[in-house]
Copies of this chain bind each other. A is one copy, B any other.
Amino acid sequence: MILTVTLNAALDVTYEVAELVPGGTHRASAVHERAGGKGVNVARVLTALGRDRVLATGLAGGPAGAEITRELAAAGIPARFAPIAGDSRRTVTIVASGDATVFNEPGPVVTDGEWHGFRERFRALCGEAEVAVLSGSLPPGVPRDAYAQLTTDARARGVRVLLDADGEALRLGLAARPDVAKPNAAELARVAGPGPVAEAARSLLANGPGAVVVSRGADGLLAVTSAGTWSVRPPRPLSGNPTGAGDAVAAALARALRGTAPLDRAAPVDWPAVLADAAALSAAAVLAPVAGDVDLAAYRTFLQEISCHSPRQPR
């Protein structure tokens, strides 16, 4: 089972308007609501792929939290969120003539007791999981080293860990040695400092993760491990909604960690194949209009097209 953790789950609300006029009053022609947050998106992609048992967990509370769990159930995404007293956040996205403008609430305040309760739940769920995906921002009140704590808990139970975070949460989480860290280029620069991406990624390996996979938008993906560096470019220039593309990469990497695709678990990681798979799934997410969705037909096409550049570089 792949367990996805979303500590700052969101109810993602999308309004379609004809045109966004700052200072104006707009009538939304359509309103969409769905559960979101990076880990939820990963679970949604994995559910769409339909090959792995998946469970979404995290923290959810208040009216938005109730809507989050209701929508997950309606969408057929297995979920067991821990209730909290605070209100889960909403995000509001205004879509106007193809352009998306996003407003994020900061999230609920989580108490110490709620955090400890969640950690107990996470440890129990680790008994059923092979891979844990730790994704996204931390709500106020959750300790800054939350991902380090969860990584330690998971590794102690033989569960492989993918970490997709930013800033302090990422920096502290890396020290607990997740199997893979997946920052984007900006997140990498924030923890490793400026400089060439490959060097920055390699600098994280010393006391940290087994591999660093950097998602670089139109520049594709880069994987760095102690054994070498691999990169892959997107199958073709794409226009669409890049929100959720990184979550599709995380979904592909979680499957690779579990051994579902593209190789079985016992074998060493075939990074060229893993990156090609992740890039194809990411591109298929860009083509889908809503974060968390993937265009499965496009995914299969891209898998055929993609070429992986894998100069096995000596360190």
Question: Would you give the 0/1 interface string for A80-117, flagging 1 where the beta carbon is closer than 8 Å to chain B?
Answer: 00000000001010101001111111100000000000
A295 at the interface (CB under 8 A from B): no
Q: Are A25 and B104 in contact (CB under 8 A)?
A: yes
Asked, given contacts A15-B92, A67-B63, A92-B15, whether A24 binds B105 with beta carbons under 8 Å apart, the answer is no
What 13 additional pairs, Cβ within 8 angstroms, besides A24-B101, A26-B103?
A13-B90, A15-B105, A17-B103, A22-B22, A22-B99, A23-B99, A24-B102, A27-B104, A28-B104, A28-B105, A31-B105, A63-B67, A92-B103
List A residues at the B interface (Cβ < 8 Å).
Answer: 13, 15, 17, 20-28, 31, 63-64, 66-67, 90, 92, 94, 96, 99-106
- Chain B residues with Cβ below 8 Å from A96 are 22
CB distance from A301 to the nearest CB of B (A): 29
- Report chain B residues within 8 Å CB of A102: 24-26
A70 to chain B, nearest CB (A): 9
Are A101 and B21 interface neighbours, CB within 8 A? Answer: yes
Are B63 and A101 within 8 A (Cβ)? no
Compute how far the CA of A104 lies from the CA of B31 in the bound complex, rounded to whole angstroms.
10
20 contacts between A and B (CB under 8 A): A17-B103, A20-B22, A20-B101, A22-B22, A22-B101, A23-B99, A23-B101, A24-B101, A25-B101, A25-B104, A26-B102, A28-B103, A28-B104, A28-B105, A31-B105, A63-B63, A63-B67, A92-B92, A92-B103, A94-B103
Residues of B within 8 Å of A66, CB to CB, are 63
Return A228 CB to nearest CB of chain B, in Å.
Answer: 34
- The 10 lowest CB-CB distance pairs between A and B, nearest first, are A63-B63, A25-B102, A23-B99, A26-B103, A20-B22, A31-B105, A15-B103, A27-B104, A22-B101, A28-B105
Residues in B with CB closer than 8 Å to A13 are 90
Kindly state the separation between the CA atoms of A172 and B26 in the bound complex, as whole angstroms.
25
Contact A23 B100 (CB under 8 A): yes
- Is the CB–CB distance between A106 and B24 below 8 Å? no
Least Cβ distance of A16 to chain B in Å? 10
Nearest-CB residue, chain B, relative to A20: B22
Docked Cα-Cα span, A104 to B132, in Å, equals: 39
The residue on B at minimum CB distance from A17 is B103
Distance (whole angstroms) from the CB of A61 to the closest CB of chain B: 13
